Amino acid sequence: MKAAAGAPREAQVLSRTDETADMFTLHLRLTDARARAAYRFTPGQFNMLYLPGIGGVPISIASDPDRRETLDHTIRAVGRVTRVLAQLRAGDSVGLRGPYGRGWPMHDAEGQDLVVVTGGLGCAPVVAAIGYVVARRERFGRLAILQGVKHSADLIWRERYDAWARLPDTRVRLAADKPDHHWGDHIGLVTDLLDEVQLRPDRTVALVCGPEPMMLAAAGRLARLNVPETRIWVSLERGFQCGVGHCGHCQLGPYFVCRDGPVFRWADVGWLLGTRGF
Amino acid sequence: MTSASFLPRDRLQALFDRLREQGYRCVGPRVRDGTVIYDDLTDAANLPVGIGARQAPGSYRLTHEGHSRCFAWANGPQALKPLLFAPRESLWRAVRHDDGRMRFEPTAQQSRQLAVVGVRACDLAALTLQDAHFAADIADAGYASRRGGLLLIGVDCTHPADTCFCASTGDGPGIGSGADIALSELESGFLVRPNSAAGALLCDALPLRDASDDELYTAAAELESARSKQHRRLPGRNLRDALFANLDHPRWNDVAGRCLSCGNCVAVCPTCFCSTEREEAAFDGSESTRVRLWDSCFSAEHSYLHGRLLRPDTRTRYRQWLTHKLGGWHDQYGRSGCVGCGRCITWCPVGIDISAEAAAICGETVEPGEARGTREGS
Amino acid sequence: MTMPPKPPAIGARRPRLAVHKFSSCDGCQLSLLNAGESLLALAERVDIVHFAEAGIVDEHAEADIALVEGSISTPEEQTRIQAVRSRSRWILSIGACATAGGPQALRNLGDSADWIASVYRRPDWISALPASSAIGAHVPVELELPGCPVSTEQVLAALTSLLAGAAPLTEQDKVCLECKRRGQVCVLVTKGEPCLGPVTVTGCGALCPGLGRDCYGCYGPAENPEVATLAERFGDLGLDAHAVARRFMYQQSGAQPFHRAARDWRQRARPAAPPAPGAESGAAPGPQPDGSTDSHD
């Protein structure tokens, strides 16, 4: 679905989930029934959430694309807009534009092994893709889900990881750089875990999302494991404002990240991401 | 030599009168504040008659030549861009009701049809690029509305500035197919060539006669002379690979030592399209307007991401501008984003010359099929 | 581009607003007073507890948001700003004096004791600090809005944002960008005027170039201001070194990038005397080695 540039539509907060001290999920519902019926998205796309008088912010859609009634957005309250979004309660309204961008290559990935490597809140842009795979488990090969956090207290969705770990042919590993004493999983970087899952490089598709240094490290590790750069996909962020490649804030070399991405093949963007100024 | 009609100079007013009768708001070049700007124009006498312009890096001075020509200057700081990609535009209005509900209304308005007289070839080429950006598969409502009602009357550029290099980019100095009517200014009047149905309709209403062979020959010769007067050039039509292969070139530091990071080059560039959005909120929070403003890749906000700037300094900002303008555009729009108008050279307060910077960074990268000898105008 | 800190959590009651004055001309307070109907709207949303220009005086009142005008120029002010800080949850410095020391910071370029002695018959009656400085040099400040005077629209927009619970956005763009947005013609390129637009933050709406005048930088340096490069350009335009220095010696001479340019070009202006020891060191305000007092022209 290609969203037009234009005014936002009203969405109501049906409910919210507090994930951690500063992370929360808004479960939104477009108020207009027709808009709701017409709304389609693919995993990895994002919406612009907008508060009148304050501004807008791009947030990836974390819910299942098949669940049509609500759109989930998991947000960390760190900026001036997200801090106000964090004050929203059930019944409040926001403006919503989207969906925007090009999502994960779900069709290309069918029949392939999948390794999902995420860091911090990088799990949010990928969770819809995991949900998509889990709902169609038989269409995909091995599934490995690797999530890393800095502090163990930052880990969200523990119960989902536990549930995914019980699926057939599915491995889930979690890593914390600074764990508390209850932490029972890997201590260190999430990229370390790539050596532990038995990748079949020629039939693996990697979905990577997190801070850019983490994605650089993950892509480097995957390349050393002989996964071709065309099979490594990353989701990027830039200062999206319009969402349709008009405002130019998201330029990355030859790309508009909001329109040509946010999901890219590493082969296309890896050469720019290590370069200061891009 | 194509055929053309001739409009005597003393009948030029008929063009403005017919445009008005056909319902157009008419905009054209006028002298203001020491330069030529495009503004409402209904009287041919208000054209820049007898005016020339001396342009150099960082300098623009009008001259009074004493002739009767109206278009004997290359360009001013702006032409079509602000008329279509508005420097400031309301996108939508948000209204918040007492019960907390919100309503959003688009604010783009249907615009009246607009005729622009005196458009240059470089600006027509830039318009094609702005169309590709703003009016392709995802159209900007305001831009598309204004573009739909636009009638373009181009004039061949016979007096290029010292800063012009449209011959090198292949975008001028003659009017190609982008205008509804192409004019060539001669001493005694104008050659007139319609190039669209709307243009033909207008021409039918003008007091034209057939152009003579002499007139056609003179116009062609003046154009050829304009081409050969241009001494600046880019080192190739496609510098993408050369630029991206030279991201660590020492010249980026060198130019950063001369650049003010002020964004004037971006603002006067007829193809630059970046914008930023702001809120204009009522004090009581009841409503708010989303406003879009021209932005620049030299501004801080342009590279703001999660509390830091991806491009904190002049070196990375200038490099972003040049690698995009002459590099990334090839991927995005199939050609360079430079049309050779030279405005970024003239209107740079310190006179930085894009052609010199590109040459220093890329060297000579003339690609196959564009050997130097076959370059237009050489 | 920095993020201002979180707005104060106010809760259900009406927020309290104070407007304090330090060394200044009151012009910034007048800007607020000139807001007209918006000021009435403001008064409906906040309790104005102290605003001398508006006739409300209680300088010891506690406030959620304090607007502070003026620079710290005397020992008394040095003490009073600490008291204002302790009674204010969110401080918004407004205007060139409060954000950079104002025109009175010109004395930072000379020896203020000499000045006082040359102006007043009884210098011992004058109680002044050797330098005039910004509020932020004395106490932590949550947000600064520059300008001489501050823009009414900017102050109201900042308050609107704060009352909506969001940190205000501050203007970052240079005067040149706003000048071009308004379709104004560059006075530097067409007339060779020594315009400070390329290094000055907008907020004024590019007012002076719109009237055919060169910007004199009253909003102060923008982010990433290439002041040294522009000063060289002024030299190329034909300004002598004195004149180049003076371009940076109006209301914003206390802002570091302008202060450095003024200092450097005054040194260049000096006739070929042997270089004074330490002449190139440090950017701190202080007396000139030759004790020159040409900064008030």
For range A22-47, the mean pLDDT: 96
Confidence of residue C273 (pLDDT cuts 50, 70, 90): low
> Are B274 and A247 a contacting pair at CB < 8 A?
yes
pLDDT for B8-20, tens place per residue? Answer: 999 999 999 999 9
pLDDT for B140-169, tens place per residue? Answer: 999 999 999 999 999 999 999 999 999 999
> Are B134 and A254 a contacting pair at CB < 8 A?
no
Min Cα distance C16 → chain A (Å) is 21
Which range is least confidently modeled, A5-9, B354-358, C214-218? A5-9
Residue showing tokens 């998205």: A41
Residues A139 and A243 in one domain: yes
Picking from B262, B301, B304, the nearest residue to C176 by CB comes out as B262
Chain B within 8 Å of A79 (Cβ-Cβ)?
Answer: yes
| Chain A residues whose beta carbon lies within 8 Å of the beta carbon of residue C3 | 79-80
Confidence of residue C9 (pLDDT cuts 50, 70, 90): confident
For range B336-354, the mean pLDDT: 98
Picking from A51, A80, A87, the nearest residue to C167 by CB comes out as A80
> Are C3 and A79 a contacting pair at CB < 8 A?
yes
Name the residue of chain C whose CA is nearest to B267's CA.
Answer: C180
Min Cα distance A94 → chain B (Å) is 7
Name the A residues in 8-47 with CB < 8 Å from any B CB: 8-10, 31
Picking from B82, B268, B300, the nearest residue to C172 by CB comes out as B300
Nearest to B356 by CA among B259, B282, B248: B259
For range B261-276, the mean pLDDT: 98
What's the confidence (pLDDT) of residue C4?
Answer: 64
Spatial separation of the C-alpha atoms in residues C241 and C259, rounded to whole Å: 15
Instruction: For residue A1, tell me if it sits in a domain.
Output: no
Beta strand A204-209 with A186-187 is unpaired
Q: What are phi and psi of A206, to 5 degrees?
A: -105, 130
What's the confidence (pLDDT) of residue B177?
Answer: 87
Report the half-sphere exposure of C96 (CA within 13 A, side-chain side): 29
Q: What is the 8-class DSSP label of residue A262?
A: B
Min Cα distance A6 → chain B (Å) is 7
> Are B294 and C181 a contacting pair at CB < 8 A?
yes
What's the confidence (pLDDT) of residue B84?
Answer: 96
- B265's tokens: 């080059």
| Chain B residues whose beta carbon lies within 8 Å of the beta carbon of residue C44 | 284
| Chain C residues whose beta carbon lies within 8 Å of the beta carbon of residue A55 | 166, 169
Q: How many CB pairs under 8 A join B and C?
A: 126
Instruction: For residue A145, tell me if it sits in a domain.
Output: yes
Picking from A10, A53, A245, the nearest residue to B288 by CB comes out as A53
Which range is least confidently modeled, B232-246, C126-140, C266-280? C266-280
Residues A141 and A252 in one domain: yes
| Domains detected in chain C | 16-163 (3.40.50.700), 175-270 (no CATH)
- Structural domains of chain A, count: 2
Residues A67 and A133 in one domain: no
| Chain B residues whose beta carbon lies within 8 Å of the beta carbon of residue C182 | 87
Residues A126 and A252 in one domain: yes
What's the confidence (pLDDT) of residue C277?
Answer: 52
Q: How many CB pairs under 8 A join A and C?
A: 24
Instruction: For residue A255, tell me if it sits in a domain.
Output: yes
Confidence of residue C3 (pLDDT cuts 50, 70, 90): low
Confidence of residue A55 (pLDDT cuts 50, 70, 90): very high
Q: Are A216 and A127 in contact (CB under 8 A)?
A: no
pLDDT above 90 as % of chain C:
80
Min Cα distance B4 → chain C (Å) is 36
> Are C160 and A53 a contacting pair at CB < 8 A?
yes
Residues A53 and A181 in one domain: no
Whole-number Cα distances in Å, B152 to A63, A248, B82, B143, B182: 49, 27, 15, 16, 8
pLDDT at B307 over 90: no
Q: Supply the mean pLDDT for chain A.
A: 95
Chain B interface disruption, residue of C185, C215, C227, C234, most B CBs within 10 A? C185
Instruction: For residue A262, tell me if it sits in a domain.
Output: yes
> Are A54 and C160 a contacting pair at CB < 8 A?
no
For range C17-39, the mean pLDDT: 94
One-letter amino acid at B122 equals C
pLDDT above 70 as % of chain C:
89
What's the confidence (pLDDT) of residue A67?
Answer: 87
pLDDT for C160-210, tens place per residue? Answer: 999 988 999 999 999 999 999 999 999 999 999 999 999 999 999 999 999
> Are B283 and C189 a contacting pair at CB < 8 A?
no
pLDDT for B310-325, tens place per residue? Answer: 999 999 999 999 999 9
For range B350-366, the mean pLDDT: 89
| Chain B residues whose beta carbon lies within 8 Å of the beta carbon of residue A35 | none
- C65's tokens: 């948001």
Residue showing tokens 């001396």: B54
> Are A81 and C166 a contacting pair at CB < 8 A?
yes
Min Cα distance B348 → chain A (Å) is 22
**Residue A220 belongs to what domain range?**
106-273
> Are B261 and C42 a contacting pair at CB < 8 A?
no
Name the C residues in 128-167 with CB < 8 Å from any A CB: 160-161, 164-167
| Chain B residues whose beta carbon lies within 8 Å of the beta carbon of residue A278 | 310, 320
What's the confidence (pLDDT) of residue A6?
Answer: 84
Residue A150 sits in a domain of what CATH number? 3.40.50.80
**Prediction pTM value:** 0.93
Name the residue of chain A whose CA is nearest to C162's CA.
Answer: A54
Residues A80 and A169 in one domain: no
Residues A96 and A110 in one domain: no
- In DSSP terms, B183 is beta-bridged to B155, B192
pLDDT at B378 over 80: no
Residue A89 sits in a domain of what CATH number? 2.40.30.10
Spatial separation of the C-alpha atoms in residues A253 and A244, rounded to whole Å: 17
pLDDT for B202-231, tens place per residue? Answer: 999 999 999 999 999 999 999 999 999 999
What's the confidence (pLDDT) of residue A237?
Answer: 95
Confidence of residue B329 (pLDDT cuts 50, 70, 90): very high
Beta strand A143-151 with A113-119 is parallel
Residues A147 and A184 in one domain: yes
Q: What is the 8-class DSSP label of residue B368?
A: T
Instruction: For residue A3, tell me if it sits in a domain.
Output: no
Picking from B88, B301, B347, the nearest residue to C1 by CB comes out as B301
What's the confidence (pLDDT) of residue B283?
Answer: 82
pLDDT at B370 over 60: no
Confidence of residue A69 (pLDDT cuts 50, 70, 90): confident
What does the DSSP assignment read for B301-342? GGGEETTEESS-SHHHHHHHHHHIIIIIHHHHHSS-S--S--
One-letter amino acid at B195 equals N
Name the C residues in 179-198 with CB < 8 Å from any B CB: 180-186, 188-192, 195, 197-198
pLDDT at A4 over 80: no
pLDDT for B175-208, tens place per residue? Answer: 988 999 999 999 999 999 999 999 999 999 999 9
Chain B within 8 Å of A95 (Cβ-Cβ)?
Answer: yes
Confidence of residue C275 (pLDDT cuts 50, 70, 90): low
Picking from A4, A241, A255, the nearest residue to B276 by CB comes out as A241
Confidence of residue C290 (pLDDT cuts 50, 70, 90): very low
Confidence of residue C36 (pLDDT cuts 50, 70, 90): confident
Spatial separation of the C-alpha atoms in residues C276 and C263, rounded to whole Å: 13
pLDDT above 70 as % of chain A:
98
> Are A53 and C169 a contacting pair at CB < 8 A?
no
Spatial separation of the C-alpha atoms in residues B3 and C285, rounded to whole Å: 73
Instruction: For residue A76, tell me if it sits in a domain.
Output: yes
Terminal alpha carbon distance of chain A = 28
> Are C41 and B284 a contacting pair at CB < 8 A?
yes
**Which chains neighbour B (Cβ–Cβ under 8 Å, 3 or more pairs)?**
A, C
> Are A53 and C3 a contacting pair at CB < 8 A?
no
Residues A135 and A255 in one domain: yes
What's the confidence (pLDDT) of residue B129?
Answer: 97
* Domain end marker among A45, A73, A100: A100
| Chain B residues whose beta carbon lies within 8 Å of the beta carbon of residue C1 | 300-301, 304, 309
pLDDT at B259 over 90: yes
Report the half-sphere exposure of A130 (CA within 13 A, side-chain side): 29
> Are A80 and C160 a contacting pair at CB < 8 A?
no
Picking from B77, B281, B317, the nearest residue to C186 by CB comes out as B77
What's the confidence (pLDDT) of residue C8?
Answer: 77
pLDDT for A184-228, tens place per residue? Answer: 999 999 999 999 999 999 999 999 999 999 999 999 999 999 999
Confidence of residue C294 (pLDDT cuts 50, 70, 90): very low
Confidence of residue C272 (pLDDT cuts 50, 70, 90): low
Confidence of residue B244 (pLDDT cuts 50, 70, 90): very high
pLDDT at B2 over 60: no
Q: How far is CA B266 from the centre of its chain?
A: 11
* Domain end marker among A61, A80, A100: A100
What's the confidence (pLDDT) of residue C270?
Answer: 85
pLDDT at C16 over 90: yes
Residues A168 and A94 in one domain: no
Chain B within 8 Å of C156 (Cβ-Cβ)?
Answer: yes
pLDDT for B39-54, tens place per residue? Answer: 999 999 999 999 999 9
- In DSSP terms, A113 is beta-bridged to A204
Chain A within 8 Å of B101 (Cβ-Cβ)?
Answer: yes
> Are C166 and A87 a contacting pair at CB < 8 A?
no
Q: Are C114 and C290 in contact (CB under 8 A)?
A: no
> Are B260 and C226 a contacting pair at CB < 8 A?
yes
Instruction: For residue A111, tell me if it sits in a domain.
Output: yes
pLDDT at A150 over 60: yes
A106: enclosing H helix or E strand = helix A106-109
pLDDT at A126 over 50: yes
- A66's tokens: 């098949």
Chain B within 8 Å of A7 (Cβ-Cβ)?
Answer: yes
What does the DSSP assignment read for B260-294? ----HHHHH-SS---EEEEEEE-TTSSEEEEEEEE
pLDDT at A70 over 50: yes
| Three-class HEC string of chain C | CCCCCCCCCCCCCCCEEEEEECECCCHHHHHHHCCCHHHHHHHHHCEEEEEHHHCECCCCCCEEEEEEECEECCHHHHHHHHHHHHHEEEEEEEHHHHHHCCHHHHHHHCCHHHHHHHHCCCHHHCCCCCCCECHHHCCCCCEEECECCECHHHHHHHHHHHHCCCCCCCCCCEHHHHHHHCCCCCHHHHHCCCCCHHHEECCCCCHHHHCCCCCCCCCCECCCCCHHHHHHHHHHCCCCHHHHHHHCCCCCCCCHHHHHHHHHHHHHHCCCCCCCCCCCCCCCCCCCCCCCCHHHC
* Domain end marker among A100, A126, A158: A100
Which range is least confidently modeled, A268-272, B98-102, B284-288, C281-285? C281-285
3-state secondary structure at position B200: helix
pLDDT for C77-123, tens place per residue? Answer: 999 999 999 999 999 999 999 999 999 999 998 898 898 999 899 99
Residues A42 and A112 in one domain: no
Chain A within 8 Å of B335 (Cβ-Cβ)?
Answer: no
> Are B349 and C188 a contacting pair at CB < 8 A?
yes
> Are A53 and C164 a contacting pair at CB < 8 A?
yes
Residues A125 and A255 in one domain: yes
One-letter amino acid at C26 equals D
